[in-house]
Amino acid sequence: MSTIPTTTVTELPDDAVIVDVREADEWAAGHAPNAVHIPLSDLPARLDELPDTDDTIPIVCRSGGRSGRAVAWLAQQGFDVANVEGGMRAWHSAGKQLAGSGEPRIL
């Protein structure tokens, strides 16, 4: 049984570049300021949009389930990725900044 690499929101800087795999309505409601939005269903077709970095790429969703699936698949493709434990709920609970339309919130 393989394990999925993880990171926590406290390990990430407030200005971290992360990949957000939530749906468009969730993204619009509130997301990390430097996040890249690639919905989970679009991920296989949009690999070229992943951040170009030598560092591990944090992947996030609302609570960690979808991003966990994304991390498992991306790791199989050879990407250095980690699931953000607790997702955007944990990001928000940690008091980290949100961007979005209107009053940013987590759906």
Q: What is the spatial distance between Cα 17 and Cα 15, in angstroms, rounded to a whole number? A: 7
How far apart CA 107 and CA 104 sit, in angstroms, is: 10
The verdict on whether 53 is a catalytic residue reads no
Q: Could you say which of 16, 38, 61, 84 is catalytic?
A: 61
Collapsed DSSP state (helix, strand, coil) of residue 59: strand
Look at the block and give the residue holding tokens 């699931």.
83
Q: Would you please indicate which residues are annotated as catalytic (active-site) residues?
A: 61
